[in-house]
Structure 1
């Protein structure tokens, strides 16, 4: 009888272990944060070098789509200090550019300009700006968002970016780059 009780409790421990392992695998796979380097922009056809994760071959199309939007002349919305400064192009904008994280509150307003946006870029000028969390659960209208690009003018990590961007659709790929302002 004692052997049956030991076997049953061991079975539950093993099952619990595999459940925890599965949960950690799922959460690791849902994190789509990749670091870019200056060389990636100079040679967009080369593989993306990452320090925090491996950029696997199935994501080559994601990388190419990002660089096509980032480098091309696409209709763009420019936002600074909670005001739309400029909208370029004759069709619905595909890119939304923020000059700082203090302007993110403008997205909580009902704004039809962002419905077609595929790329959101945010420039973070200092470490304090990373504390202005960007929570997608309170924003409507980013139905076509594919990429988020964050340019840090200070040393930031994938963990910093993951704590800055909250509740984003797992299909959205987040790129970030550390750059030194001139």
Structure 2
């Protein structure tokens, strides 16, 4: 009887610890991180108005990134899908091979607020997204990078190049497929 109680206790304890450990791992993978823009290719904006509106901007970012928005989907250097009947607010780039079309599409759609980029392999980081010379993206507010592998802040800073003071906020998330 006593050993049966101990067995149940250990099973319950093991189950609880496993559940807590699993939740911590999943929570780390679900976290959307914001890139700190402080290296040579990026500059932290000193505009006090933008600094004060960061909390409302984060809410706006989540609404644009995670909600259903009129969108353009680009893959294999062609527009694959248009979602919604209004002017697109979001462009989703499914691969890094489509960056040339992506830049053209951003320039021609001045109402787009967010750009979502999907990275499938580590090799995708070898193709940089250079928006530093593109003055026609002043309307863009956010870049959201989703990667299928662990990605560091340093890798993100090398991957995306923005002009100093662009005001574009960069977010990234690791989504390892099961």
Taking structure 2 as the reference length, the TM-score comes to 0.66
User: Could you tell me which residue of structure 2 aligns to residue 119 of structure 1?
Assistant: 114
Higher relative contact order (CA 8 A, sep 6+): 2
Q: 1:90 to 1:155 in 2, by over 3 A?
A: same
- 8 Å CA contact retained: 1:37, 1:178: yes
Between the aligned partners of 1:50 and 1:108, the Cα distance in structure 2 is: 22
Distance of 2:105 and 2:172 partners within structure 1: 27
User: Counterpart of 2:174?
Assistant: 178
Q: Name the CA shift for 1:64/1:104 in 2 (closer, same or farther; >3 Å).
A: same
**2-structure distance, mates of 1:139, 1:50:** 22
| 1:17-71 Cα distance to aligned partner (Å, 9 max, x none) | xxxxxxxxxxxxxxxxxxx85156xxxxxxxx77979xx9852112101011122
**CA distance in 2: counterparts of 1:62 and 1:155, whole angstroms:** 26
Match of 2:30 among 13, 16, 38: 38
**RMSD across aligned positions (CA):** 2.8
1:150 equivalent to 2:155? Answer no
Given the two structures, how large is their TM-score scaled by the length of structure 1? 0.65
Flag as ranges the 4+ runs of structure 1 deviating above 6 A. Answer: 49-53
Distance 1:138 1:107, change over 3 A: farther
Q: Structure 2 regions of 5+ residues with no counterpart?
A: 1-27, 38-50
